């Protein structure tokens, strides 16, 4: 499928989920997750035909990065260039141009189950780049056996079926134990909600500036040489 349309759809979904704008690295990683999830749904065939490699910060595609630049240069998406508060590093935030009408993933023929998974990932990781990098690096099939510089193989992306799930027989709990457990769960849920309220926002220049250290172009791997150290 057309890479440009998929990028626009991801940015559309990000806007709908209230997590736009996105750092460049974040946008690339969500494109990768879309390829992973569609590969799981299609016997190892991702929705795009771009090449992914294990480079700096995990999976990276130069084709996706180039397509982002093309859309930005054409004014189809808006690239907000900012400077990090510490040092001279510049970072870019991407979102749809207000005049740009983009279809969502469902309109491109992506199954609703995959759209829902991506929505959940956006809410979980879009504002937490370190966790997103950890997820794509350690918890996606193409990265399991990959080494730095390798082209990633999506053939191992397989969808779990009901046959893969083995039932576990549970011991019956007494009503008093059930009631006590429910009370503890309510307290845990309330504590988690309070923690999330503290952790969220504000997503201002200071926030994105601190994440910019993880944002940037991936580096080529495989260089060889000798280093001379002196004491």
| CB proximity list for 112: less than 8 A, separation 6 or greater | 106
- The answer to whether 8 and 76 are in contact (CB under 8 A) is yes
Query: What are the CA-CA distances from residue 231 to residues 225, 228 (Å)?
Result: 20, 10
Could you report the per-residue pLDDT of 146-160, keeping only the tens digit for each? 999 999 999 999 876
**Cβ(24)–Cβ(92) under 8 Å?**
yes
- Cα separation of 68 and 24, whole Å? 8
The pLDDT value recorded for residue 175 is 79
pLDDT given for residue 79 in this prediction: 93
At 34 the pLDDT is: 98
Q: Is 109 helix (H, G, I), strand (E, B) or coil?
A: coil
Which stretches does DSSP call E strand in the chain? 22-23, 53-55, 58-60, 77-83, 90-96
Taking the model in full, what pTM does it have?
0.74
CA Rg, the chain, in Å?
21
pLDDT lower than 70: segments of the chain: 85-88, 99-100, 160-167, 170, 193-231
Question: What is the distance of C-alpha 2 from the center of its chain?
Answer: 19
Nearest to 17 by CA among 115, 100, 101, 110: 115
Among the listed residues 170, 213, 18, 10, the one whose alpha carbon sits nearest the alpha carbon of residue 102: 10
Provide the pLDDT for residue 198: 47
Return the residue matching tokens 């799981």: 40
CA-nearest of 127, 177, 149 to 23 is 127
């Amino acid at each position: 499928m057309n890479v440009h349309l998929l990028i626009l759809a991801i940015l559309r979904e990000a806007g709908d989920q209230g997590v736009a704008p996105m750092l460049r690295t974040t946008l690339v990683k969500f494109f990768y997750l879309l390829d992973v999830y569609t590969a799981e749904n299609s016997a190892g065939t991702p929705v795009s035909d771009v090449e992914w490699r294990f480079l700096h910060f995990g999976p990276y595609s130069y084709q996706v990065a180039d397509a982002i630049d093309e859309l930005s240069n054409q004014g189809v998406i808006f690239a907000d260039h900012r400077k990090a508060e510490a040092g001279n590093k510049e970072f870019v935030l991407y979102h749809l141009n207000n005049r740009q009408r983009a279809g969502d993933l469902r309109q491109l023929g992506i199954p609703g189950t995959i759209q829902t998974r991506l929505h959940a990932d956006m809410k979980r990781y879009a504002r937490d780049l370190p966790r997103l990098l950890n997820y794509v690096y350690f918890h996606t099939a193409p990265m399991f056996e990959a080494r730095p510089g390798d082209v990633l193989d999506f053939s191992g992306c397989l969808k779990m079926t009901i046959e893969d799930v083995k039932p576990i027989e549970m011991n019956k709990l007494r009503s008093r134990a059930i009631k006590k457990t429910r009370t503890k769960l309510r307290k845990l849920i309330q504590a988690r909600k309070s923690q999330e309220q503290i952790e969220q926002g504000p997503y201002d220049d200071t926030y994105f500036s601190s994440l910019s250290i993880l944002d940037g172009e991936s580096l080529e791997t495989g260089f060889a040489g000798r280093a001379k150290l002196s004491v």
